[in-house]
């Protein structure tokens, strides 16, 4: 009885600590495969210990040639195919929290306050909900996300075109433009 109680206590502690991993079995039932810890990792070929890196300059990833944006000017000329889509805005909010919030802060809260990294930066990141940014085109915001500007690094190498537009739609929703 003591052993069963001890095993149960350990199991509860592991669940509380978040250590327990869910398992799914392959179709052959011979091997267990860990479930991804977030939906970005579903149906991709990432493996433990592999880190996504920026692309080599002058190259285009396999299967991405139709999405290749050659220059800032080309990106600024793009029009938003997902304008105002609620699912896109929700995805953009999640992407913003991961990629933008550390510097730009939570743009849904007023008054504007930069994020933890932005507070320590040489240049304070701008309030993306200000009137100056409301007048920019969706293509201009896409270009800034893709290529970066001043101290902001470009995220074009790690975000898909759809994720770029999701971020644009989230920013627009917070600006009250959509």
pLDDT in tens, 33-79: 555 455 555 555 544 444 456 667 777 667 666 567 777 888 888 88
Q: What is the pLDDT of residues 116-142, one digit of tens each?
A: 888 887 888 888 888 888 888 888 888
Find out whether 75 and 142 touch, Cβ atoms under 8 Å: yes
Find out whether 141 and 171 touch, Cβ atoms under 8 Å: yes
Share of the chain above pLDDT 70, in %: 65
In CATH, the architecture of 67-175 is Orthogonal Bundle (1.10)
Query: How many other CB atoms are there within 10 angstroms of residue 158's CB atom?
Result: 13
- Three-state SS across 68-104? CCCCHHHHHCCCCCCCCCHHHHHHHHHHHHHHCHHHH
Q: What residues does each domain of the chain span? A: 2-35, 67-175
Find out whether 158 and 136 touch, Cβ atoms under 8 Å: no
Mean per-residue pLDDT over the chain, rounded:
74
* Alpha carbon distance 169, 112 (integer Å): 19
* pLDDT of the residue at 94: 92
Confidence (pTM): 0.63
**169: confidence class by pLDDT, cuts 50, 70, 90:** very high
């Amino acid at each position: 009885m003591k052993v069963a109680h001890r095993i149960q206590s350990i199991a509860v502690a592991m669940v509380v600590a978040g250590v327990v991993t869910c398992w799914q079995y392959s179709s052959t039932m011979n091997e267990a495969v860990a479930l991804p810890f977030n939906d970005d990792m579903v149906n991709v070929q990432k493996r433990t210990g592999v880190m996504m890196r920026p692309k080599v300059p002058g190259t285009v990833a396999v299967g991405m040639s139709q999405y290749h944006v050659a220059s800032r000017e080309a990106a600024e000329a793009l029009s938003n195919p997902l304008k105002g889509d609620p699912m896109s805005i929700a995805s953009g909010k999640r992407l913003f929290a991961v990629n933008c919030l550390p510097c730009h802060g939570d743009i849904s809260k007023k008054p504007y306050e930069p994020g933890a990294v932005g507070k320590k930066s040489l240049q304070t990141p701008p309030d993306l909900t200000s009137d100056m940014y409301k007048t920019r085109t969706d293509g201009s915001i896409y270009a800034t996300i893709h290529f970066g500007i001043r101290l902001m690094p470009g995220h074009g190498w790690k975000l898909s075109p759809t994720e770029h537009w999701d971020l644009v739609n989230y920013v627009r929703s917070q600006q009250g433009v959509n």
